[in-house]
Amino acid sequence: MSLCILSGLFFAPAAYALRPFEGTDGSVAEAGVFELEFSPTGFIRTGEARTLLGPFVVANFGFAGDTELVLEGKFIRQQGGQVDGHRTRFGDTAISVKHLFRDGSLQDGTGLSIAAECGVLLPEYHGETGRGETCAGIASQKFDAAVVHFNAGLSRTLEHTSRTSIGVIAEGETSGPARPVMEVLSEHDRGGISTRSLLLGMVWKHDEDLAFDAAVRKARSGGESLTELRFGLTWSVQMHK
């Protein structure tokens, strides 16, 4: 399988994300709050090929009615190997809407916090020119020792294939500012390619408005092994009251 195909699969945009994960949680930004998820750089190794990521930006805008608007995209630069087309592109471009359907333990209530995020996958600059759609259901539960998020998604990719995904995120609850995190993800593309990955990392909460993250993601896709390093931050600000 060519490196170009692997790159397209691994970077296929999912319009739902929470740093440093592929999936997200059962909550939304409060009305009037702007949240920025930013990664200045990342790194992927696929065999002998090297790929640089970043900057990677996800912008979330909270609206009344437990709803937020999400815009996202990232720069991707492939180093070495054969490439069909441009080595640098702006991809993972998407716009989506996320809505919280049920207040639960994430909102200081009881039981599951339930949300859904659906959106449009946009044409890329120097990349895929098609358009796709994606939608995911999210259920989150807060326990004494951890917070668990379950994601189930269905997408039509820019290559016009159908993709399903199931993921589980676990965030450890600690007394300090740093907490361990993990994500297990399984994706299947109707084009015949399956991807399974494991992410391990840490999130350090500086204060109520700023958190830093670092993670390693190992994946197996189409018979190839991929290793990704992720670094970034999440920052929020009240735009108006």
pLDDT tens per residue across span 79-102: 766 667 778 888 889 999 999 999
Amino acid identity, position 13? P
Distance of alpha carbon 227 from alpha carbon 220, whole angstroms: 9
Determine the average pLDDT of the residues in 140-161. 94
Residue in 164, 162, 228 with CA at minimum distance from that of residue 198? 228
Measured in residues, the chain has a length of: 241
Q: Encoding tokens for residue 113?
A: 């916090």
Alpha-carbon distances of 97 from 16, 25, 66, 193, rounded to whole Å: 9, 14, 11, 28
Query: What proportion of the chain, given as a percentage, has pLDDT over 90?
Result: 64
pTM, 2 dp: 0.89
Greater pLDDT, 47 or 123: 123
pLDDT digits (tens, 9 = 90+) for 7-42: 444 444 455 678 999 999 999 999 999 999 999 888
Q: Which domains does the chain have, with CATH numbers?
A: 3-238 (2.40.160.40)
Give Rg (Cα) of the chain.
17
